[in-house]
Amino acid sequence: MTDKAIKKILIIKLRGIGDVVLSTVVLDDLLNFFPEAKIDYLTDRPSANWLKGLPQVNAVLTYPKSGILNKLKLIAEIRRKKYDIIFDFYSNPSTAQITFLSGAQYRIGFPYRGRKYAYNLYGPYERGKYHAAELHLEALKSVGIPVNNNSSLHFYFSKEDERFAEEFLERNNLIGKIFAGISPTGGWQSKRCPPEKLAELAKSLNKRYNIPLLIFWGPSEYEDAIKIKEIVGDSAYLSPPTTIEQMAALMGKCTFIVANDSGPMHISTAIGTPVLSLHGPTNPLHQGPYGSKHEYLVLNELECIMCNLLECPKNQECFRDISEKLFLTKIEILLNKNSIRI
C-alpha cells in the first residue's frame, strides 16, 4: 500500500475485551505510516469506554447486539463517514458484510472461507501460526505497512480510576507495599484454574515471599474469589466491585499478577504490569501474555493439553497437576526478568 494520504481508518474488532486489547497493537504503526489519519473503532459495548480514552483513537462505534434495522443503520453510518481503509480484524460473516458495503477504497480482512469476497486486500490465512497480537501486525505487513519491532498494546483508564485505586489501597494499608494480584477470571469454564487450586498456589506465593495478595473478580467470579480469600486468609484482600477501567487501575498498582488466559491477563500486559499466565486448553504461544516481560505456565507433558475445548471432559489436570515447585520457579523467572526484588 503506497497511498499515504489516508485520512480516515476504521478498525473492526468484536468479542471479548482481551481480543480487543490485542488489536490495539496496530495503532502506533498505523499512525506512523498514515500521520494525517484518524482511527475509529467498531467494537462491542464493553470495550467502547476504554477505547474512547486512547489518544490514538478518534471515535468508537458500537456493534448492535440484535436487529436487522440496527445493523442497516450502522452500515449507513459507516458509509456516511467515508472511510478510506477498513481493517476487519474480526472477519466473521457479519463484519465481512459490513466491510463489503462500507464504500471504503481499501477493505482488509482475513481470507477465510465465505468471507473473501468482502475484501480487496488480505491478511494471512493461517490462524494458528502467530500469536493473536502478531496476527494483527502480520495483516499490516501483508498490505505493505511497516511494523515496529516494539509494537505495544494499549489500554486506557482515567485519573479518576487511579484515584479509586489509591483510595482502596489507602483504606487497606497497602500504599507503598509490594503486593501481587490474583485473577480467577476466564472466558471459558475450561480456562479457569479451579479456585481451590489457585488458592493453593496463592498460599505458596504468600509463604515464599510474605507479600499481600489482591484478588480480582467480576460478577461471574465472585464466589470463586470469596473461596480463594477464605483459603488464603488474612494476607489476601478482595478487590471492591469495579468497572473494567477501575480494575485496570488497581492492576497497575500490583507488582505482578497471576492470571488465567483472560481479558484481565491481556489488560495487565497492556498497562505494563508483569504477569504469569496459567494455560490449560489454550496455547500460550498464541494466546499468552504479549511481550518479553511476562511469563506463562503450561503442562506440555499432558496428552490433552491445549485442547481448545470450552468445557473440560476430564478433571482439569492441566491446572490441578501444577506443582508448587514449578509455579514458584516460574514466579522467580518472572521476578528476575523484571529485576523485581522482594
Q: Which of 75, 54, 51, 81 is nearest to 63 (CA)?
A: 75
Set of cell numbers at residue 264: 484481565
Domains 8-142 and 159-337 share a fold: yes
Question: What is the C-alpha to C-alpha distance for residues 267 and 338, in angstroms, rounded to an integer?
Answer: 18
H or E stretch covering 40? strand 38-43
Q: Where are the domains of the chain?
A: 8-142, 159-337
Residue 182, pLDDT score: 98
Question: What is the C-alpha to C-alpha distance for residues 280 and 318, in angstroms, rounded to an integer?
Answer: 5
Residue type, 151: S
What topology is assigned to 8-142 in CATH? Rossmann fold (3.40.50)
Q: Which of 111, 98, 123, 154 is nearest to 270 (CA)?
A: 154
Residue 2, pLDDT score: 65
Regarding pTM above 0.85, the answer is yes
For the 159-337 domain, the top CATH level (class) is alpha beta
φ and ψ of 198, to 5 deg? -65, -35
Residue whose C-alpha cell is 481493517: 87
For the chain, 342 residues long, give each residue's pLDDT as a single digit of tens.
Answer: 666 789 999 999 999 999 999 999 999 999 999 999 999 999 999 999 999 999 999 999 999 988 899 999 999 999 999 999 999 999 999 999 999 999 999 999 999 999 999 999 999 988 789 999 999 999 999 999 999 988 899 999 999 999 999 999 999 999 999 999 999 999 899 999 999 999 999 999 999 999 999 999 999 999 999 999 999 999 999 999 999 999 999 999 999 999 999 999 999 999 999 999 999 999 999 999 999 999 999 999 999 999 999 999 999 999 999 999 999 999 999 999 999 999
Question: What is the C-alpha to C-alpha distance for residues 243 and 240, in angstroms, rounded to an integer?
Answer: 10
Instruction: Say if residues 275 and 200 touch (Cβ distance below 8 Å).
Output: no
Residue 179, pLDDT score: 97
Count Cα neighbours of 191 within 13 Å in the Cβ-side half-sphere. Answer: 21
Residue type, 325: K
Interacting residues of 38 by C-beta distance below 8 A, sequence separation 6+: 7, 8, 9, 58, 59
Instruction: Say if residues 265 and 277 touch (Cβ distance below 8 Å).
Output: yes
